[in-house]
Protein backbone atom coordinates (compact mmCIF):
# COMPACT_ATOMS: atom_id res chain seq x y z
CA UNK A 1 0.00 0.00 0.00
CA UNK A 2 1.11 3.57 -0.64
CA UNK A 3 1.88 4.89 2.85
CA UNK A 4 2.53 8.41 1.49
CA UNK A 5 -1.23 9.06 1.20
CA UNK A 6 -1.80 7.77 4.72
CA UNK A 7 0.93 9.96 6.20
CA UNK A 8 -0.30 13.07 4.37
CA UNK A 9 -3.85 12.37 5.66
CA UNK A 10 -2.62 12.11 9.26
CA UNK A 11 -0.62 15.30 8.84
CA UNK A 12 -3.73 17.06 7.54
CA UNK A 13 -5.64 16.04 10.69
CA UNK A 14 -2.98 17.71 12.82
CA UNK A 15 -2.27 20.86 10.83
CA UNK A 16 -5.67 21.64 9.28
CA UNK A 17 -8.28 19.93 11.48
CA UNK A 18 -6.31 20.59 14.70
CA UNK A 19 -7.23 17.18 16.08
CA UNK A 20 -5.69 16.24 19.41
CA UNK A 21 -2.66 13.89 19.55
CA UNK A 22 -4.95 11.25 21.11
CA UNK A 23 -7.46 11.45 18.23
CA UNK A 24 -4.69 11.37 15.61
CA UNK A 25 -3.22 8.31 17.32
CA UNK A 26 -6.60 6.55 17.05
CA UNK A 27 -6.83 7.35 13.34
CA UNK A 28 -3.29 6.09 12.78
CA UNK A 29 -3.93 2.83 14.65
CA UNK A 30 -7.25 2.18 12.87
CA UNK A 31 -5.85 2.82 9.40
CA UNK A 32 -2.70 0.81 10.01
CA UNK A 33 -4.89 -2.12 11.06
CA UNK A 34 -6.89 -1.74 7.86
CA UNK A 35 -3.70 -1.49 5.81
CA UNK A 36 -2.43 -4.74 7.35
CA UNK A 37 -5.75 -6.39 6.48
CA UNK A 38 -5.40 -5.27 2.85
CA UNK A 39 -1.84 -6.60 2.66
CA UNK A 40 -2.99 -9.97 4.00
CA UNK A 41 -5.45 -10.09 1.08
CA UNK A 42 -2.70 -9.00 -1.34
CA UNK A 43 -4.45 -5.72 -2.18
CA UNK A 44 -1.75 -3.31 -3.28
CA UNK A 45 -3.61 -0.08 -4.05
CA UNK A 46 -6.21 2.02 -2.23
CA UNK A 47 -8.34 2.19 -5.37
CA UNK A 48 -8.65 -1.62 -5.43
CA UNK A 49 -10.65 -1.63 -2.20
CA UNK A 50 -14.40 -2.18 -2.53
CA UNK A 51 -17.44 -2.62 -0.27
CA UNK A 52 -16.77 -6.36 0.21
CA UNK A 53 -13.19 -5.68 1.29
CA UNK A 54 -14.26 -3.25 4.00
CA UNK A 55 -17.11 -5.55 5.09
CA UNK A 56 -14.64 -8.43 5.42
CA UNK A 57 -12.42 -6.24 7.61
CA UNK A 58 -15.36 -5.35 9.88
CA UNK A 59 -16.39 -9.03 10.09
CA UNK A 60 -12.84 -10.06 10.95
CA UNK A 61 -12.67 -7.50 13.75
CA UNK A 62 -15.99 -8.78 15.12
CA UNK A 63 -14.68 -12.38 15.10
CA UNK A 64 -11.64 -11.13 17.00
CA UNK A 65 -14.01 -10.05 19.78
CA UNK A 66 -14.05 -6.30 19.13
CA UNK A 67 -17.16 -4.44 20.25
CA UNK A 68 -19.48 -2.67 17.86
CA UNK A 69 -18.44 0.82 18.96
CA UNK A 70 -14.77 -0.01 18.34
CA UNK A 71 -15.52 -1.34 14.86
CA UNK A 72 -17.71 1.70 14.17
CA UNK A 73 -14.83 4.00 15.07
CA UNK A 74 -12.49 2.05 12.77
CA UNK A 75 -15.00 2.27 9.91
CA UNK A 76 -15.37 6.00 10.55
CA UNK A 77 -11.59 6.38 10.24
CA UNK A 78 -11.64 4.50 6.93
CA UNK A 79 -14.52 6.63 5.62
CA UNK A 80 -12.71 9.84 6.56
CA UNK A 81 -9.53 8.62 4.89
CA UNK A 82 -11.36 7.79 1.67
CA UNK A 83 -13.07 11.19 1.67
CA UNK A 84 -9.57 12.63 1.72
CA UNK A 85 -8.44 10.30 -1.10
CA UNK A 86 -11.41 11.40 -3.20
CA UNK A 87 -10.46 15.07 -2.70
CA UNK A 88 -6.91 14.19 -3.72
CA UNK A 89 -8.30 12.38 -6.80
CA UNK A 90 -6.58 9.15 -5.82
CA UNK A 91 -9.91 7.25 -5.84
CA UNK A 92 -13.36 8.01 -7.21
CA UNK A 93 -15.62 6.44 -4.57
CA UNK A 94 -15.78 5.64 -0.86
CA UNK A 95 -15.97 1.84 -0.29
CA UNK A 96 -16.72 2.22 3.44
CA UNK A 97 -19.73 4.48 2.97
CA UNK A 98 -22.42 1.81 3.39
CA UNK A 99 -20.62 -0.62 5.68
CA UNK A 100 -22.25 -0.87 9.11
CA UNK A 101 -20.75 -2.13 12.33
CA UNK A 102 -22.67 -4.67 14.44
CA UNK A 103 -24.72 -2.93 17.09
CA UNK A 104 -23.88 -3.28 20.74
CA UNK A 105 -25.76 -1.96 23.72
CA UNK A 106 -24.76 1.58 24.60
CA UNK A 107 -22.94 1.87 27.89
CA UNK A 108 -24.52 4.68 29.84
CA UNK A 109 -22.04 7.13 31.36
CA UNK A 110 -21.65 7.11 35.13
CA UNK A 111 -22.73 10.26 36.94
CA UNK A 112 -22.86 11.73 40.45
CA UNK A 113 -26.16 12.72 41.97
CA UNK A 114 -26.66 16.27 43.27
CA UNK A 115 -26.06 15.21 46.87
CA UNK A 116 -22.66 13.75 45.95
CA UNK A 117 -21.79 16.94 44.06
CA UNK A 118 -22.71 19.03 47.11
CA UNK A 119 -20.59 16.80 49.33
CA UNK A 120 -17.63 17.02 46.93
CA UNK A 121 -17.70 20.82 46.99
CA UNK A 122 -18.24 21.26 50.73
CA UNK A 123 -16.34 24.14 52.33
CA UNK A 124 -12.67 23.34 52.79
CA UNK A 125 -9.95 24.99 54.81
CA UNK A 126 -8.87 28.22 53.13
CA UNK A 127 -5.36 27.70 54.52
CA UNK A 128 -4.66 25.26 51.69
CA UNK A 129 -4.10 27.31 48.54
CA UNK A 130 -3.96 24.25 46.29
CA UNK A 131 -7.39 23.18 47.51
CA UNK A 132 -8.70 26.64 46.62
CA UNK A 133 -7.34 26.10 43.11
CA UNK A 134 -8.79 22.59 42.94
CA UNK A 135 -12.26 23.73 44.00
CA UNK A 136 -12.14 26.45 41.33
CA UNK A 137 -11.20 23.88 38.68
CA UNK A 138 -13.88 21.35 39.55
CA UNK A 139 -16.63 23.88 40.25
CA UNK A 140 -15.92 25.29 36.78
CA UNK A 141 -15.88 21.85 35.16
CA UNK A 142 -19.24 20.94 36.69
CA UNK A 143 -20.71 24.42 36.18
CA UNK A 144 -20.07 24.47 32.43
CA UNK A 145 -19.68 20.83 31.39
CA UNK A 146 -16.03 21.09 30.39
CA UNK A 147 -13.90 18.30 29.00
CA UNK A 148 -10.63 17.63 30.83
CA UNK A 149 -8.57 18.99 27.92
CA UNK A 150 -10.75 22.10 27.74
CA UNK A 151 -10.26 22.82 31.44
CA UNK A 152 -6.48 22.40 31.21
CA UNK A 153 -6.23 24.64 28.14
CA UNK A 154 -8.11 27.61 29.65
CA UNK A 155 -6.24 30.92 29.75
CA UNK A 156 -6.81 33.95 31.93
CA UNK A 157 -8.36 35.69 28.94
CA UNK A 158 -10.82 32.80 28.48
CA UNK A 159 -12.84 33.92 31.51
CA UNK A 160 -14.95 37.05 31.84
CA UNK A 161 -15.77 37.23 35.55
CA UNK A 162 -17.99 40.30 35.20
CA UNK A 163 -20.13 38.79 32.43
CA UNK A 164 -20.03 35.33 34.07
CA UNK A 165 -19.05 33.59 30.86
CA UNK A 166 -16.06 32.05 29.14
CA UNK A 167 -14.87 30.99 25.71
CA UNK A 168 -13.71 27.40 25.28
CA UNK A 169 -11.82 25.74 22.45
CA UNK A 170 -13.08 22.19 22.04
CA UNK A 171 -12.64 19.31 19.62
CA UNK A 172 -11.69 20.23 16.06
CA UNK A 173 -10.53 23.65 17.31
CA UNK A 174 -14.17 24.75 17.57
CA UNK A 175 -14.95 27.53 20.03
CA UNK A 176 -18.09 27.96 22.09
CA UNK A 177 -19.25 30.52 24.66
CA UNK A 178 -20.45 29.13 27.96
CA UNK A 179 -22.14 30.61 31.03
CA UNK A 180 -20.38 30.23 34.36
CA UNK A 181 -22.46 29.62 37.50
CA UNK A 182 -22.36 31.68 40.69
CA UNK A 183 -20.55 29.04 42.76
CA UNK A 184 -17.87 28.64 40.09
CA UNK A 185 -17.42 32.42 39.87
CA UNK A 186 -16.94 32.64 43.65
CA UNK A 187 -14.40 29.81 43.60
CA UNK A 188 -12.55 31.41 40.66
CA UNK A 189 -12.32 34.77 42.41
CA UNK A 190 -10.67 33.11 45.41
CA UNK A 191 -8.15 31.34 43.16
CA UNK A 192 -7.36 34.48 41.13
CA UNK A 193 -6.42 36.34 44.33
CA UNK A 194 -3.69 33.82 45.15
CA UNK A 195 -2.69 32.79 41.59
CA UNK A 196 0.09 35.46 41.32
CA UNK A 197 1.92 33.66 44.12
CA UNK A 198 2.17 30.54 41.94
CA UNK A 199 3.14 32.16 38.64
CA UNK A 200 6.87 32.57 38.11
CA UNK A 201 6.67 34.03 34.60
CA UNK A 202 4.56 37.19 34.39
CA UNK A 203 3.47 36.29 30.86
CA UNK A 204 2.08 32.86 31.89
CA UNK A 205 -1.32 32.65 30.17
CA UNK A 206 -2.71 29.52 31.85
CA UNK A 207 -5.69 30.04 34.14
CA UNK A 208 -4.78 27.04 36.29
CA UNK A 209 -1.14 26.43 37.15
CA UNK A 210 0.83 23.86 39.08
CA UNK A 211 3.05 24.52 42.11
CA UNK A 212 5.86 25.04 39.60
CA UNK A 213 3.94 27.91 38.01
CA UNK A 214 3.31 26.12 34.71
CA UNK A 215 0.03 25.05 33.10
CA UNK A 216 -1.44 22.18 35.09
CA UNK A 217 -1.32 18.79 33.37
CA UNK A 218 -4.21 16.40 32.72
CA UNK A 219 -2.67 13.84 35.07
CA UNK A 220 -2.35 16.38 37.88
CA UNK A 221 -6.01 17.37 37.51
CA UNK A 222 -7.10 13.73 37.89
CA UNK A 223 -4.74 13.25 40.84
CA UNK A 224 -6.09 16.33 42.62
CA UNK A 225 -9.69 15.21 42.03
CA UNK A 226 -8.83 11.82 43.55
CA UNK A 227 -7.41 13.58 46.60
CA UNK A 228 -10.51 15.77 46.96
CA UNK A 229 -12.78 12.71 46.75
CA UNK A 230 -10.74 10.89 49.39
CA UNK A 231 -10.90 13.87 51.75
CA UNK A 232 -14.69 13.97 51.41
CA UNK A 233 -15.21 10.19 51.76
CA UNK A 234 -17.40 10.20 48.68
CA UNK A 235 -17.46 6.41 48.44
CA UNK A 236 -16.90 6.09 44.70
CA UNK A 237 -14.30 6.92 42.08
CA UNK A 238 -15.10 10.12 40.18
CA UNK A 239 -13.30 11.01 36.96
CA UNK A 240 -13.21 14.54 35.50
CA UNK A 241 -15.47 13.28 32.71
CA UNK A 242 -18.04 12.17 35.28
CA UNK A 243 -18.41 15.81 36.31
CA UNK A 244 -19.18 16.64 32.67
CA UNK A 245 -21.69 13.78 32.48
CA UNK A 246 -23.27 14.94 35.73
CA UNK A 247 -23.57 18.50 34.40
CA UNK A 248 -25.41 17.24 31.29
CA UNK A 249 -27.69 14.88 33.19
CA UNK A 250 -28.70 17.38 35.88
CA UNK A 251 -29.32 20.09 33.29
CA UNK A 252 -31.46 17.80 31.17
CA UNK A 253 -33.45 16.63 34.22
CA UNK A 254 -34.29 20.26 35.02
CA UNK A 255 -34.86 21.69 31.54
CA UNK A 256 -35.56 18.79 29.12
CA UNK A 257 -33.91 21.01 26.47
CA UNK A 258 -31.75 18.52 24.57
CA UNK A 259 -30.67 21.05 21.93
CA UNK A 260 -29.39 23.46 24.58
CA UNK A 261 -27.44 20.68 26.29
CA UNK A 262 -25.94 19.75 22.91
CA UNK A 263 -24.74 23.32 22.39
CA UNK A 264 -23.31 23.59 25.90
CA UNK A 265 -21.43 20.28 25.59
CA UNK A 266 -20.12 21.15 22.13
CA UNK A 267 -21.46 17.99 20.47
CA UNK A 268 -21.40 18.19 16.67
CA UNK A 269 -24.23 15.64 16.40
CA UNK A 270 -27.28 15.62 18.65
CA UNK A 271 -27.28 11.80 18.59
CA UNK A 272 -24.21 11.99 20.87
CA UNK A 273 -26.21 14.06 23.36
CA UNK A 274 -29.22 11.73 23.23
CA UNK A 275 -27.55 9.20 25.51
CA UNK A 276 -28.43 11.56 28.36
CA UNK A 277 -32.12 11.07 27.59
CA UNK A 278 -31.64 7.43 28.64
CA UNK A 279 -30.15 8.61 31.93
CA UNK A 280 -33.02 11.06 32.35
CA UNK A 281 -35.52 8.24 31.78
CA UNK A 282 -33.79 6.14 34.42
CA UNK A 283 -34.18 9.05 36.85
CA UNK A 284 -37.89 9.41 36.01
CA UNK A 285 -38.41 5.66 36.37
CA UNK A 286 -36.84 5.72 39.84
CA UNK A 287 -39.08 8.62 40.87
CA UNK A 288 -42.10 6.74 39.53
CA UNK A 289 -41.20 3.54 41.36
CA UNK A 290 -40.87 5.43 44.65
CA UNK A 291 -43.88 7.69 44.28
CA UNK A 292 -46.65 5.98 42.32
CA UNK A 293 -49.11 4.11 44.58
CA UNK A 294 -49.36 1.25 42.08
CA UNK A 295 -45.58 0.98 41.68
CA UNK A 296 -44.37 1.12 45.29
CA UNK A 297 -43.34 -2.16 46.84
CA UNK A 298 -45.32 -3.23 49.86
CA UNK A 299 -43.33 -2.95 53.05
CA UNK A 300 -45.60 -5.35 54.92
CA UNK A 301 -48.54 -7.59 54.25
Active site residues per annotation: 147, 171, 241, 244, 267, 276
Q: Which residues contact 78 (CB under 8 A, 6 or more apart)?
A: 30, 31, 34, 54, 57, 96
Q: How far is CA 142 from the centre of its chain?
A: 13
**Which of 95, 252, 121, 254 lies closest to 263, judged by CA?**
252
155 DSSP assignment: B
Q: Burial of 125 by CB count in 10 Å (0-12 exposed, 13-18 middle, 19+ buried)?
A: exposed
Which is it for strands 175-179 and 159-160: parallel, antiparallel or unpaired?
A: unpaired
Maximum CA pair distance of the chain? 76
Rounded Cα–Cα distance for residues 244 and 242 (Å): 5
What phi and psi values does residue 169 have, to the nearest 5 degrees? -100, 115
What phi and psi values does residue 159 have, to the nearest 5 degrees? -105, 135
Amino acid sequence: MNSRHLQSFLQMLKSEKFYSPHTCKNYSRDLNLFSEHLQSREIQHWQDVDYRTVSAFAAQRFRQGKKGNTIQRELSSIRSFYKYLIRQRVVTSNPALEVKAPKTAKKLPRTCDTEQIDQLFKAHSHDDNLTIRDLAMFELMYSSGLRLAELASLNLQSIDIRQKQMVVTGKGNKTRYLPVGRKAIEALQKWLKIRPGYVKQTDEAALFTSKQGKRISHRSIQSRLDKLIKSQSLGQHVSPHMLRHSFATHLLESSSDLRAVQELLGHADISTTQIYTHLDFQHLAQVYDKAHPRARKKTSE
